[in-house]
Amino acid sequence: MSSLIVAVGGGLAVILLLGLSAFFSSSEIAVFSLQKDWIAQQAATGDRRAQVLQELYDNPHRLLVTLLVGNNIVNIAISSIITVLIASSLSPGPAVVATTVVTSVLILIFGEIVPKAFGLGNAQAWALTVASPVRIVERVLSPLITLFDGIAGRITALITGETGIEKPYLE
């Protein structure tokens, strides 16, 4: 009975986390596929969602780090839960293979490819929809975002001399 509860709970948690992974991935592609001029025009109409979107877009580096940190936390949690579920049923060698395959397939299809296709195909509407939730995530995860951004910025500057990880999106 206990293992059934763990399996069902773990499965539900993975589904919820895949939804969050899809949210972060689709948000990233939707927001960064938009032209800055379009965002400014929408914000000028007084649309509160567009104003929040513009505030986020005005600091594209922090926005990208927010989305990356959120998505990676969620994806690592998915991997951890799937590992626990599979490791309880298989010996270590096969468990590693099964965990890697199952996690990769789930995250790639439901957390990356399909959500990014959706985000790109619905960029304007989706970016406006996710602006406020992304801002909440940015505020909640602010200490982590600042920490990871600082560490990554220093390492990147040492390696390449460049810290603008968001620049390819904006060109």
Q: How far apart are CA 77 and CA 18, in angstroms?
A: 10
Does the pLDDT at position 1 exceed 80? no
Average confidence (pLDDT) over 30-58: 96
Lowest mean pLDDT among 71-75, 103-107, 117-121, 156-160: 156-160
Supply 151's token pair.
């560490």
Give the pTM. 0.89
Q: How far is CA 20 from CA 41, 43, 54, in A?
A: 29, 26, 22
82, 13 contact by CB (below 8 A): no
Residue of 67, 78, 57 lying closest to 23 (CA atoms):
67
Supply 128's token pair.
């406006």
Does the pLDDT at position 107 exceed 90? yes
Query: Each residue of 59-77: pLDDT tens digit?
Result: 998 999 999 999 999 999 9
Supply 156's token pair.
């990147």
Residue of 102, 79, 81, 92 lying closest to 8 (CA atoms):
81
Report which listed range, 11-20, 59-68, 140-149, is most confident.
11-20
